[in-house]
Amino acid sequence: ALSRVTRAPADKILGLTEKFNVDRHPNKINLTVGIYKDNRGRVTTFPSVASAQSLLETSLDLNNDLSYLPITGSQDYQNNVLNFLYRESSDGSELLENNRITFVQTLSGTGALAVASKLLATFVSKTVWIPNPSWANHSNVFQWNGFNQIKYYTYYEDGKLSIDKWLKELKESCSSRDPDWPPSIVLHACCHNPTGVDPTLEQWQQILPVIHDLGITPIIDMAYQGMESGNLIQDAYLLRMCLEYEWPNGLFVCQSFAKNMGLYGERVGSLSVVVPPNPLDLKSTIDSQLKKIVRGIYSSPPGYGSRVANLVLSNPKLKQQWFVDVKNMSDRLWNVRIQMHERLNWPNLVDFKTQHGMFYYTGLNPYQVQILQERYGIYLTEDGRMSLSGVNDGNIDYLCDSLRQVVQ
């Protein structure tokens, strides 16, 4: 009966913005959501994206078709994104030529994770490993889409990556795993959310063989490509490294243009699965199930955002501008990080040099986060994560003064 419906807790991140919006503090600052804002606090449209939009507006050819897209998205989008991910960001041309990569145009990164988990939990895997800490929605997505068991591997402790514990936990737990339902694992491709700390290339070289040898299926969550180094291609290192292995249950790549094209609300992303070479019809079998999953949830993806992304990815001038746009965004975030570092001088609280991307993981405890919110109108997520994009010349002094007060 309807009376069985119990109240779900407010979303840990988006719920805070609802609260922020009605807060009357005169100096309030929202540092919760990962949306890029410029130094004046505005959500801007990247020049590359704005140019693509005006091209679309003026070209009837490009924008006159409001009919449905195919279930797994437009063919142009598929070609452009696969080309970007597997020819430019990595050396997967041979996989493409051998028809080993299935593709779905998804509702951004979250949609990719949802479709991937539905397929995995139905046919492959009942347990998924998620880093602790991780983006709060991961466990929600995996639970809703059929995983019976969510396990957390220790990722970050005492202000740094804890690779030894991470690998020990995987090894211990997987020694008794069910061979019919081998586990999956979520790996953040770069700019780990919320800590901003990623394994180095050398550490990944230690981690990936363990995951591979234990028969765990990797799910790469690539939501921030370009925001670690400022270079889109460079940041795809985890994808490149994973492609050096054959994964018997596939390599799942969940990718988003929300942050690196600023297309948040347009929901533009992709799921690609690199499938083993045999049997030959495996790819088309998986394609058929992916179609069925999408059809049963939202039938087909939205069109407009993917047309914008298509233009940015396929027009050489716009593409070049996009790389500059991403670099500018990443430079500003880095600049904010340095400026805060200089003002706060908190060497013991966090290691500034190893964090990167959109978030600053402050190390503040929930009580301090609460005081910041109640007394100063400054909103961080409960785990002490701060989105640097909300910091600008107009509020950085107030922010750093307030942080100093609560830490005292």
Catalytic residue, chosen from 37, 118, 259, 283, is: 259
User: Which of 96/116 has CB closer to ligand PMP?
Assistant: 116
* Pairwise CA distance, residues 271 & 267, whole Å: 13
61 labelled catalytic: no
- Residue 150 CB, shortest distance to ligand PMP, in Å, is 15
How large is the C-alpha radius of gyration of the chain?
A: 21
* Pairwise CA distance, residues 62 & 57, whole Å: 8
Catalytic residue, chosen from 221, 235, 287, 325, is: 221
247 labelled catalytic: no
* Pairwise CA distance, residues 320 & 350, whole Å: 35
User: Which of 188/283 has CB closer to ligand PMP?
Assistant: 188
Binding residues vs ligand PMP (CB under 6 A): 34, 108-110, 135, 188, 193, 221, 223, 256, 258, 264, 269
| CA distance to 46, 71, 115, 293, per residue, from 297 (Å) | 31, 11, 9, 7
* Pairwise CA distance, residues 338 & 352, whole Å: 8
- Residue 341 CB, shortest distance to ligand PMP, in Å, is 23
User: Which of 132/339 has CB closer to ligand PMP?
Assistant: 132
| Chain centroid to CA 140 | 15
User: Which of 78/195 has CB closer to ligand PMP?
Assistant: 195
- Residue 140 CB, shortest distance to ligand PMP, in Å, is 12
259 labelled catalytic: yes
* Pairwise CA distance, residues 267 & 264, whole Å: 6
- Residue 309 CB, shortest distance to ligand PMP, in Å, is 12
- Residue 25 CB, shortest distance to ligand PMP, in Å, is 25
Catalytic residue, chosen from 37, 129, 135, 247, is: 135
User: Which of 109/301 has CB closer to ligand PMP?
Assistant: 109
User: Which of 36/86 has CB closer to ligand PMP?
Assistant: 36
- Residue 223 CB, shortest distance to ligand PMP, in Å, is 4
Which residues are identified as catalytic?
135, 221, 259
